[in-house]
Amino acid sequence: MKLLYFAWVRERIGLADETIERPAGVETVADLIGWLKARGDGYELALAEPEAIRVALDREHALHDASLDGVREVALFPPMTGG
Amino acid sequence: MKLLYFAWVRERIGLADETIERPAGVETVADLIGWLKARGDGYELALAEPEAIRVALDREHALHDASLDGVREVALFPPMTGG
Amino acid sequence: MATIRTGVSGEPLDMAGLVASFDQGRTDIGAVVTFTGLCRDEDGRLDALELEHYPGMAEAEIARIAHLAAERWPVTDLTVIHRHGRVAPGEPIVLVIAASKHRHAAFEAAEFVMDFLKTQAPFWKKEHARDGTATGWVAARDADDEAEARWGKPS
Amino acid sequence: MATIRTGVSGEPLDMAGLVASFDQGRTDIGAVVTFTGLCRDEDGRLDALELEHYPGMAEAEIARIAHLAAERWPVTDLTVIHRHGRVAPGEPIVLVIAASKHRHAAFEAAEFVMDFLKTQAPFWKKEHARDGTATGWVAARDADDEAEARWGKPS
């Protein structure tokens, strides 16, 4: 599963993207965020407030309770500020 | 008092403008329209439905019950269709 | 203070030129909304529109409406120009440009100006048909009165 | 059927060119509304905005939003182009052009597109200050969520 990070999520984690094997027990976006937070200080800082994190699954907006089954690309990012 | 006519009011009356002496008893726009209607077939045709006639007094929109006191320029025209 | 430019013109209107004339080098504008009202050919039926206006009052009403909008929304620039005379299909009839720091003010000011121009500015459209026969004055639309009414009574 | 053009660009956007590219010789359009969102210098404080985007999703979201608007209002043409990369004060960030027979459809489609772009299109603005010190990510505004919400849930 490919993970993409944008804006300050990217800066805090220190990575633009990475590819992981989905660990056992990680069923939803919320599970993934919880698992990522334990991976290091950058992740912990980036994801400290999960409610501030928006998510896209295979380039479509999704909520934190969405299932990761069949998902190839997960993007985590702050609220958007385009336009 | 100068009278101006626009669009189909102008075409039906057959005049773009004329200058009149305000007759005795003509106090309001409605009085003026009533007086004009008696001046000939063109006026009668143009002003047959007074509710369809819009009016400006000295270049400001006014209602039919507005007084003509002190007014120098009266314009009669159909509802506007600009824009 | 908003910069307000209004007028009527017997010559073809140039939106690109008007926009360029105020936003060159400006770095304080966040949003620009433009409106262009164009003469349609009504499926090929129309040869031209003839726009009659009340000289003097037309300019004054456009300026009055622009100032009402500029009092109601925080626009920095507001330009409103209305054409008169013979207008061919595809040519602009009216141009509105509203600039503001924020987009909703620009959108609403431009739409307010158009709604009031339709019902308050002394212009009248006459259609000239391509086949030379049916010509007539365009009737006012109830929808335009309703569009104006939704803004409430301006103070 | 509406003609819909959408995209992202790393190069400066050209509104006049975009407008000219679709309305030349057209005689069936009654109303054209354009929106230009510009980079402000924030009273001289800002050197540039850096616009990060999610390649692939940004294009798809802009297209999705444009199609939602074209389903909801009878627009004949809808163009939406968003800039990414480093943008200097005075340069456009986003351009929207909506054309329709009637003005309210054009106004509302353009405003709807902007309200949804703000909250749905994956772009993030970072400020670069002129003095080289304070740079930071622009925070999302609650007002933008409220602006989106007023359109209701699109089907």
Q: What pLDDT is attached to residue D20?
A: 83
Residue A38 lies in a domain: yes
Segment 7-66 of chain A within 8 Å of chain D by CB = 7-8, 10, 56, 59-61
Note the CATH number of domain C3-21+28-130.
3.90.1170.40
- Rounded to a whole number of angstroms, the distance from the CA of A45 to the nearest CA of chain D is 16
Q: Strand, coil or helix: what is D22?
A: helix
Percent residues over pLDDT 70 in chain C? 97
DSSP D128: E
By C-alpha distance, which of D6, D126, D132 is closest to D78?
D6
Q: What pLDDT is attached to residue D134?
A: 61
| Whole-number CA gyration radius for chain A | 12
Model confidence at C155, pLDDT cuts 50, 70, 90, reads: very low
- Which residues contact residue D132 at a Cβ distance below 8 angstroms, ignoring those fewer than 6 apart? none
Q: What pLDDT is attached to residue C22?
A: 78
State the DSSP H helix or E strand holding residue A8, giving kind and residue range, or none if neither: helix A7-13
Q: Which two structure tokens, joined as six digits, stand for D50?
A: 């850096």
Residue A57 lies in a domain: yes
pLDDT digits (tens, 9 = 90+) for C113-133: 999 999 999 999 999 998 876
Q: Could A80 and D93 be called an inter-chain contact, meaning their C-beta atoms sit closer than 8 Å?
A: no
Residues of chain A with pLDDT under 70: none
Q: What pLDDT is attached to residue D16?
A: 86
By C-alpha distance, which of C41, C62, C43, C56 is closest to C121?
C62
Percent residues over pLDDT 90 in chain C? 70
Q: What pLDDT is attached to residue C43?
A: 87
Question: Chain C contact for D32, CB < 8 A?
Answer: yes
pLDDT digits (tens, 9 = 90+) for B9-61: 999 999 999 999 999 999 999 999 999 999 999 999 999 999 999 999 999 99
Q: What pLDDT is attached to residue D141?
A: 87
Question: Chain D contact for A3, CB < 8 A?
Answer: no
Residue B41 lies in a domain: yes
Q: Could C36 and D31 be called an inter-chain contact, meaning their C-beta atoms sit closer than 8 Å?
A: yes
Q: What is the mean pLDDT of chain D?
A: 92
For chain D, the helix, strand and coil percentages under 3-state DSSP, each to the nearest 5: 35, 35, 35
Residue A30 lies in a domain: yes
Q: At C55, give phi and psi (nearest 5°).
A: -60, 140
Model confidence at C42, pLDDT cuts 50, 70, 90, reads: confident
Q: What is the mean pLDDT of chain B?
A: 97
CA distance A48 to A33: 10
CATH of the domain at A31: 3.10.20.30
Number of independent structural domains in chain B: 1
Segment 116-135 of chain C within 8 Å of chain B by CB = 117-126
Contact residues, chain A, for D125 at CB < 8 Å: 81-82
CA distance A48 to D33: 43
Q: Could C30 and D37 be called an inter-chain contact, meaning their C-beta atoms sit closer than 8 Å?
A: yes
- The residue of chain B with its CA nearest to that of C59 is B59
Q: What pLDDT is attached to residue C82?
A: 98
Q: What pLDDT is attached to residue C27?
A: 87
Contact residues, chain A, for D57 at CB < 8 Å: 56, 59-60, 75
State the DSSP H helix or E strand holding residue A32, giving kind and residue range, or none if neither: helix A29-37
Centre a 10 Å sphere on the Cβ of residue B30 and count the other Cβ atoms it contains: 16
Residue B34 lies in a domain: yes
CA distance C77 to C105: 11
Q: Which two structure tokens, joined as six digits, stand for A57?
A: 């699954």
- Which residues contact residue C153 at a Cβ distance below 8 angstroms, ignoring those fewer than 6 apart? none
Which of C16, C20, C90 has the CB atom closest to D27's CB atom? C90
Interface-testing mutation among D19, D32, D104, D151, with chain C (most C C-beta atoms within 10 A): D32
Q: Is D53's pLDDT higher than 80?
A: yes
- Which residues contact residue B7 at a Cβ distance below 8 angstroms, ignoring those fewer than 6 apart? B77, B78, C52, C124, C126, C137
By C-alpha distance, which of C36, C97, C93, C34 is closest to C70?
C97
Domain of A25 in residue numbering reads as 2-77
CA distance C59 to C53: 9
CA distance B25 to B32: 9
Residue A82 lies in a domain: no
Residue B82 lies in a domain: no
| Whole-number CA gyration radius for chain B | 12
Q: What pLDDT is attached to residue C109?
A: 98
pLDDT digits (tens, 9 = 90+) for D63-113: 999 999 999 999 999 999 999 999 999 999 999 999 999 899 999 999 999
- Rounded to a whole number of angstroms, the distance from the CA of D31 to the nearest CA of chain C is 5
Question: Chain D contact for C17, CB < 8 A?
Answer: no
By C-alpha distance, which of C13, A82, C139 is closest to D117?
A82
D136-137/D31-38 β-pairing = unpaired
Q: Is B80's pLDDT higher than 50?
A: yes
Residue B62 lies in a domain: yes
Q: What is the mean pLDDT of chain C?
A: 92
Q: What pLDDT is attached to residue C1?
A: 75
Q: Is B4's pLDDT higher than 60?
A: yes
CA distance C34 to C95: 7
Q: What pLDDT is attached to residue D155?
A: 46
Q: At C5, give phi and psi (nearest 5°).
A: -125, 125
Model confidence at D154, pLDDT cuts 50, 70, 90, reads: low
pLDDT digits (tens, 9 = 90+) for C51-86: 999 999 999 999 999 999 999 999 999 999 999 999
The predicted model gives D23-31 an average pLDDT of 85
Q: Is C154's pLDDT higher than 70?
A: no
